[in-house]
Amino acid sequence: MTRPVDSGVILIARIALAVLFLWGGVMKLLGYAGFVGYLHSKGVPFVQIAAPIAVIVEALGGLLLVVGYKTRPLGLIMAAYTVATAVLGHDFWNVTDAALQRDMVIHFWKNIGIAGGFLLLFVTGAGRISIDGARAPRGGLGL
């Protein structure tokens, strides 16, 4: 990073991405039976394994994004998870109702866009306003 403002912008991006996942993870946990039923209805394999993994990835992943811990590998994990949820949860190609299909297309591409944000975090890292940034070695000139 070359500008001091970069870390602040990256912090805002991390929080913006995290809010969706923290909220989603908590809602899935609170309505766990309904979430499991939804996964069954979508034909997700190994639901008894997939459901707790989804809750953990969303809740813990969201928390780690906020604090900026292990952000580069987390970015890859979250990008892959978000693409997988797009394919499994927003399968517009299987929907026949036009209004519902339009909605699914929007959600599918929204997930792909979010995955792009996670890939950017993989490249940029968490910035200095993070646990990762606090642990990073600094140059002799305070850089």
Confidence of residue 136 (pLDDT cuts 50, 70, 90): confident
Q: What percent of the chain shows pLDDT beyond 70?
A: 94
Secondary structure class of 10 (helix, strand, coil): helix
> 24-28, 81-85, 92-96, 121-125: lowest mean pLDDT where?
92-96
Is the pLDDT reported for residue 140 higher than 60?
A: no
Q: Rounded to 5 degrees, what are φ and ψ at 82?
A: -70, -40
Ramachandran quadrant class, 70 (left: phi over 0; alpha: psi -120 to 50; beta: rest): left
Amino acid, res. 62:
G
Secondary structure class of 34 (helix, strand, coil): helix
What is the rounded (10 degree) CA torsion for 28, 33, 39, 41?
Answer: -140
Rounded-to-5 percentages of helix, strand, coil across the chain:
80, 0, 20
What is the per-residue pLDDT for 143? Answer: 44
Is the pLDDT reported for residue 61 higher than 90?
A: yes
pLDDT average, residue stretch 43-70: 95
Average pLDDT, the chain: 91
* pLDDT one-digit tens code per residue, 72-91: 999 999 999 999 999 988 98
Tokens of 46: 């190994």
Amino acid, res. 16:
A
Cβ atoms 62, 74 nearer than 8 A: no
pTM to 2 decimals? 0.87
Dist. CA 140–CA 143, nearest whole Å? 7
pLDDT average, residue stretch 2-26: 91
